[in-house]
Structure 1
Amino acid sequence: MAGQTQSPQKTQYDVVIVGGAIMGASAAWFLSDNADFDGTVLVIDRDLTYEACSTTHTNSCMRQQFSTELNVRISQFAADFVTNMPRYMGNDDRVPNLRIRNFGYMYLADTEAFAGVLKESQAVQVAAGAATKLMTADEIKAAYPFYNVDDIVLGSINTVGEGFWDATAVFDWWRKSARERGVEYVENEVVAITRNAAGTRVESVTLKSGEVINCGHIINASGPRAVATSRMAGIEVPVEPRKRYSWIFSAEQPLDVDLPLTIDPSGVHVRENGGGTYQCGGHSDVDPAVDYDDYTMDFSIWENYVWPILATRIPQFEAIKVQSEWAGHYAMNTFDHNAIMGPHTEVENFIFLNGFSGHGLQQAPAMGRGTAEWITYGGYRELDLKAFNFERIPNNRPIVEKAII
């Protein structure tokens, strides 16, 4: 833990949120913003600097290019929230006006089968109101001459509500605003969770500092540590930390137009970063679960895999210099790579907000709002998010989302 352990001000809260990064912050803020919720909220995090959390290690981009309508609409709400944040936050003149740097995502398909998936997904996206366009290899080359498209069959791009955004500003303002409205944040750690005699509800959490805190609801927003939290309540959730590597590099010959967040068929992705620099991400072919504190870089991945792919796809990237690099964790849902939310099937006040598998930042506004609605009303109001509820896992009903990076 980063600092001195802090004790909560009370011994009982209506909602205890375990994990204060982007998901916990979103749920806390939307609870505080809901006029029909008048309860108390405690957010507990092991490290309130968030130095090692997935939120800090993200590439801060959002996209509407998903294959399911619900995932598209979740991202559309994120785009609307970010670009209208002062309005959503009560017209507070302190809240910054943000914009999305709409360079879009460029999906590149190198097989007819993959091209067919892009076509099917684009139809779903357009029907939901997205501006996604399909591009032939010749069209891609005309618009973005720097690409090598010799092996490309089809591309897909959307430059409306899709690209880079200032996630740190949203994260900071959610926490600041929630605190001003009475949400309490403490740096501490949940070490035990106690259920009632029937096993149907969580009664309390025990903190590392020894306090026992009674709770009406508990929200598991623990990111890659989701199963460590759930197991204290005797609950299994199929979420594990998977290591993802990022690099920021400069190019000897920078591109003369913005680089879309390019999804190479290999899975390596790279985007514009500004000032002649670019951010790239990838992972090894062998992708095991890792220890929660394992952020060690594997330098061979860059030299032997990522850089050769970049230089092949964008020849101007043959002469580049790495400026910084780091490893972070995806909270990977190994069941179907989609969010897990809503109540447990037996422990009714244990609420999941887990398993976003790399999509968490862009999905945080809708998922935090939906969680606040569930706790306040016992159901969803603005977007019907029941498809993501935990019950699909024991019932073996996976969500089939084809646009997974």
Structure 2
Amino acid sequence: MAKFPTDPGQDSYDVVIIGGAIMGSSLAWHLSTSPDFDGSVLVVERDPSYAACSTAHTNSCIRQQFGNALNIRISQYTAEILRDFRAHLGGDDRVPDQHIQSFGYLYLAGDEAGADRLRRAHAVQQECGVPSRLLTPGEIAEAYPFYALDDVILGSHNARDEGYWDGGAVFEWFRRKAQDNGAEFIAGEVAGLEKDRSGSRVEAAQLSSGERIACGVVVNAAGPRAARVAGMIGRDIPVEPRKRFSWVFKAEQPLSGELPLTIDTSGVHVRQDGPDTYLAGGHLADDPAADPDDFEMDPDFWMDVAWPAIATRIPQFEAIRVINEWAGHYAFNTFDQNAIVGPDPEVSNFLYMNGFSGHGLQQAPAMGRGLAEWITSGAYQTLDLGPFHLDRVLRGERFGESAII
């Protein structure tokens, strides 16, 4: 568990980041290494154990099979970071090497509408250099003979830079290296934000301890609590906690080969998790908003929905034993299930880093880099993250992404 002081070292910072999980830590690290930034950074984290954050409950996956080029480019940057993580973090010998277990994602389409989505996404992926392949049921069966495919008409698979990785270690070292470079992390909670008389800027953050911290920029990286923080400037954003369930299991009859992360037509997904273990995930059909402190499992969902779907798709999984399970939260953007990033259109020094809807871990490196660029120069220097700005929500224009899990 990280040990943070409870009192800030000063009463004013150039950047105050609310939330110190992987998003806040990525931004703190990117700022701390930017040659264009020599300011002070304070990260306020309400739970230094990180036991309840979305980062701690992630399935730690990365994919290139999106339907929008920007989301693909974002994941490609993460893959670039992971390929030489130690070098990216300055060559520190303490930083562990990283590796993507690239068994790939396998999307299954059971109707023509689903197949058309895969075809359109595949065309975009090809333009971005992603070597994904569209597969007929016969081709899927040849590569992976353990599937039952009677209801499948098309699949899509990519085995480069797509699978799972050690997201916890990447998060930990973003945070530790940011601290080494001078970013300050404290245990605390922001209880309110003070705006100036015009209402166009945040002047200070009020901590629950009663301390007042003046700030040049404030960043909302509060994960499932993002809407609460946005409400402190009078803004209503469509981000809420949504429960996601995960199970790790062993099979009485293990598969003969490695299992790709399979997105079933039922909506349940399942993948290899270790040499002889598998991981499944899913959510309730009605998918209600959850309390951010609610991590209770739903045994009926496993017995009635998830396990039957898995066993139908992979008959060898009719006899399995669950060895671990947990519930976590997506910071779910109910508007279009894509990130809300960048400046508020009215409160100019309040920045969003929210609503990743399950994509957050794999998108954190590019989002940290992009917001660091915005803070230091007022513009994006690498990937243009403008399509993620809140303006689109206020205009009612959805960011199109067909590959939402």
User: Which band: TM-score by shorter chain?
Assistant: over 0.9
Contact persistence 2:134–2:157 (CA under 8 A):
yes
* In 1: Cα distance, 2:195 partner to 2:335 partner: 26
Contact persistence 2:5–2:185 (CA under 8 A):
no
Secondary structure of the residue that 2:395 maps to in structure 1? coil
Within-5 A mapping of 1:5-404: 6-404=6-404
Secondary structure of the residue that 1:138 maps to in structure 2? helix
The runs of at least 4 aligned residues of structure 1 exceeding 4 Å deviation read 2-5
Contact persistence 1:3–1:47 (CA under 8 A):
no
Deviations 1:191-223 (A, max 9, x none): 011000000000001111111000000000000
Identify the range of structure 1 (4-13 vs 198-207) with the bigger mean alpha-carbon deviation.
Answer: 4-13
CA 1:9–1:123 in 2, change beyond 3 Å: closer, same or farther?
Answer: same
Counterpart residue type for residue 325 of structure 1: E
* In 2: Cα distance, 1:187 partner to 1:74 partner: 30
Deviation of 1:329 after TM superposition, in Å, equals 0.6
Deviation of 1:286 after TM superposition, in Å, equals 1.2
* In 2: Cα distance, 1:376 partner to 1:235 partner: 24
Contact persistence 2:4–2:185 (CA under 8 A):
no
State the identity %.
56
Deviation of 1:92 after TM superposition, in Å, equals 2.2
Contact persistence 2:270–2:281 (CA under 8 A):
yes
* In 1: Cα distance, 2:52 partner to 2:221 partner: 15
Deviations 1:257-305 (A, max 9, x none): 1110000011100110113111100011111111121111111000000
* In 1: Cα distance, 2:142 partner to 2:24 partner: 44
Counterpart residue type for residue 169 of structure 1: A
Deviation of 1:89 after TM superposition, in Å, equals 1.3
Deviation of 1:93 after TM superposition, in Å, equals 2.5
CA RMSD of aligned residues (A): 1.3
Name the count of aligned residue pairs.
405
Counterpart residue type for residue 374 of structure 1: W
Secondary structure of the residue that 2:16 maps to in structure 1? strand
CA 1:90–1:116 in 2, change beyond 3 Å: closer, same or farther?
Answer: same
Contact persistence 1:310–1:317 (CA under 8 A):
yes
Secondary structure of the residue that 1:393 maps to in structure 2? helix
* In 1: Cα distance, 2:257 partner to 2:216 partner: 52
Secondary structure of the residue that 2:246 maps to in structure 1? strand
Contact persistence 1:248–1:279 (CA under 8 A):
yes
Q: What residue ranges of structure 1 are gaps of 5+ in the alignment?
A: none
Deviation of 1:112 after TM superposition, in Å, equals 1.4
Identify the range of structure 1 (359-368 vs 229-238) with the bigger mean alpha-carbon deviation.
Answer: 229-238
Secondary structure of the residue that 1:274 maps to in structure 2? coil
Secondary structure of the residue that 1:394 maps to in structure 2? helix
Identify the range of structure 1 (102-111 vs 285-294) with the bigger mean alpha-carbon deviation.
Answer: 285-294
Deviation of 1:4 after TM superposition, in Å, equals 8.7
Secondary structure of the residue that 1:156 maps to in structure 2? strand
Secondary structure of the residue that 1:285 maps to in structure 2? coil
Contact persistence 2:82–2:99 (CA under 8 A):
yes
